[in-house]
Structure 1
């Protein structure tokens, strides 16, 4: 089943990324053009105009040498003033006129001017700067913006034309990404309604994906049928055994061995259900119970009493003074703790195991030989794959514990015993070699 909201209502992330870069490119180019034109206008005003006005003044003095009555420049962009008296005209009395080019406030606006004096004649040339601004923006910015508009309009049209060839691949990627395999029927193909629009490569890809989907759906269907058959075959002998044990209890009474055997069969039934749920990725179908973790620990210690006595090891349990019930999956919780305890009994080569229950964690410590952690670390997260290879005897059990803890939302870490006790001095344990497993509960 496809998630139509994602595939129809939203663009593919790849398409969104290209759109973002497309508009970002336009914005950056427009910004660079504005900055470039502004810098060009500044250069024209500060350097080119200064040079042009100085040349205009020099040209005027050359004309005066040939003709003392030569007229001042008088164009749309350049005009001037001259006087022969020592004091400037009244309109220039407040101006501090100095030889050379300067920006002064004249004729109601700050303008670029050039001032000079020869043979008692004072000349002030004024440039009509506002016209330059209009020319810069008219002949600089406008043509560039028009050319960019034409260019990107063509790119937009090309992109729209190209979508008929590229969009089928995007839709195929959306369909593949949003398949819900847990509810996928093998007869329904999520790619059958996607048109390739004459794109041969997209058509070949569509056919390959349909074939892949059919094969994978068939495999999932067979795996589910096999899991159901295995589940049935495992439950049947367990049910027979449980019925036989109950008959023995009725005939011979509540014997301790029969009670333990009955409890073990119930645990096996929970174990089968849990393993099948994990294999099918349907752990959400398992029900939680409000249980005290201490009761589950005590049950495990009681079940492992025969093993601990055979190994000559003592199991010491420390429960908190006050404990609140937790929402637990009993079968999965027992599997996690049972694997850790059995590993400690079978491979630690120690004499005692301490189980210390805390508010949000569980500490399981042995005084055996310990294990060599990768890279000589003193602490290692259980998800590290190298640990399962290097730690003989712990690999398979710890891999199962890792999968179960992932389903429970727990986290497990392995510590060197001496290192852990040095960082947790409040823990009442002897400082010796060994391994400490800490289960962090959710």
Structure 2
């Protein structure tokens, strides 16, 4: 009846939406933190430190003016070198020293320095950059990480709360989506085992779905029982008629009228089986055969020849010379073509009906009065609800043809005869009023 997947709650679009938004928030927050830290490091190391070192150098020259023997800065974060000769100390012998703030190798590491010359003195101040990294960590990264942990925890808690309220709805949607109505047990409900976790809205929805399921299931069972009874009631008289016709044929010989009655009874039995299969949605039980479509067309023309003679309408057929057998359902195919042909015979009020067989389509053209199409269009896809049909016999036939074509995967279009012949000049037909029906096969 219904198979429940343990991962349904995680694979349902609603759950995927929440998960996607949840991880999108986390990704955006993480990206903003990385950008924030990078910007902070750039500002601290690039702008603030440069300004601070330049000010330290200016302050040192001011001290030298007041006291030529003033000591160099010597703190945890700043220390310096001073010499009066043109040759720098050994540690900077291979370094190119330029006035201003630069990064050079000092004590085996690339550090930020500021170099200046004044009154024969050369001064190089070095900033202990490792301490800056600690400052960035302590006052930048650590607080941000703490904020991130708090924020992620809140998002995780809110996501859990959201799942608590929306997971029942997701499971109810999955249960409704996976109901197998063809094998449904009328006493079983696919919603019984779903817990709503105290969500009142989900509980009301569950009760409504269970009630709807029960009503719909009862209706389906009544429909199945009815179609079963109708099937039995229709088959019984047809079987009796067929037996009596066979008895008459054995007694009076193979009379043409008896043969026609026998063929009609067989068509009726086939029609009953097909209609019941469509009503029960079990068309897969019908038998498909590898046959030529021309055989069905010629059989139909033979069956309807007497009707055409009574109406004064001649049926002309152009078969496909390069036809090949195709896998089709003979009963449904015969019903589609039979309904179209009977409508043309009964209501076209013309003198000729042309049946033109093509590779993947069949053209049925009459030279009658045609029909009025909505909005003065010249072509209309088959839909009885959209066509302005006044003849009483077209509606049921078109609805049946439409349903059968949907089952077969075919498409039917109705054309104004003159419009179709103008757009398809290769058809050697008289350009008169009428209707052309084209059946497009897969």
Scaled to the shorter chain, the TM-score interval is: 0.7 to 0.9
SS at match of 1:156: helix
Per the TM alignment, residue 3 of structure 1 is displaced from its structure 2 partner at its CA by: 1.3
After TM superposition, list the pairs within 5 Å mapping 1:7-406 onto structure 2: 11-86=11-86, 88-89=88-89, 91-92=91-92, 94-157=94-157, 159-160=159-160, 166-371=166-371, 379-382=379-382, 388-393=386-391, 394-406=394-406
Per the TM alignment, residue 116 of structure 1 is displaced from its structure 2 partner at its CA by: 2.5
Q: Deviations over 1:187-227 (max 9, x none)?
A: 22223333444444444433333322222222211111111
Q: Over aligned residues, Cα RMSD in angstroms?
A: 3.1
Per the TM alignment, residue 86 of structure 1 is displaced from its structure 2 partner at its CA by: 4.4
- TM-score scaled by length of structure 1: 0.87
Contact 1:348–1:367, Cα closer than 8 Å, also in 2: yes
SS at match of 1:5: coil
- Rate the CA distance shift 1:333–1:124 in 2: closer, same or farther, 3 A: same
- Rate the CA distance shift 1:377–1:127 in 2: closer, same or farther, 3 A: farther
SS at match of 1:321: coil
How many residues were matched structurally?
A: 440
Q: Deviations over 1:224-260 (max 9, x none)?
A: 1111222222223323333343344334432222222
Per the TM alignment, residue 298 of structure 1 is displaced from its structure 2 partner at its CA by: 0.7
Distance 1:230 1:320 in 2: 40
Per the TM alignment, residue 309 of structure 1 is displaced from its structure 2 partner at its CA by: 3.0
- Rate the CA distance shift 1:117–1:274 in 2: closer, same or farther, 3 A: same
Contact 1:7–1:171, Cα closer than 8 Å, also in 2: no
Contact 1:34–1:141, Cα closer than 8 Å, also in 2: no
- Rate the CA distance shift 1:117–1:380 in 2: closer, same or farther, 3 A: farther
- Rate the CA distance shift 1:347–1:94 in 2: closer, same or farther, 3 A: farther
SS at match of 1:176: helix
Distance 1:91 1:73 in 2: 18
Per the TM alignment, residue 336 of structure 1 is displaced from its structure 2 partner at its CA by: 0.8
Distance 1:153 1:52 in 2: 39
- Rate the CA distance shift 1:350–1:57 in 2: closer, same or farther, 3 A: farther
Distance 1:106 1:417 in 2: 95
- Rate the CA distance shift 1:358–1:100 in 2: closer, same or farther, 3 A: same
Q: Deviations over 1:173-194 (max 9, x none)?
A: 3322222111112122223333
Q: Deviations over 1:33-64 (max 9, x none)?
A: 11221122122222222222222222222222
Q: Deviations over 1:106-142 (max 9, x none)?
A: 4444433323332232323232334323432443223
**For structure 1, which runs of at least 5 residues remain unmatched after alignment?**
none
Q: Deviations over 1:344-385 (max 9, x none)?
A: 334444443322222332222334455555566555443x67
- Rate the CA distance shift 1:142–1:229 in 2: closer, same or farther, 3 A: same
Per the TM alignment, residue 427 of structure 1 is displaced from its structure 2 partner at its CA by: 4.3
- Rate the CA distance shift 1:69–1:436 in 2: closer, same or farther, 3 A: farther
- TM-score scaled by length of structure 2: 0.87
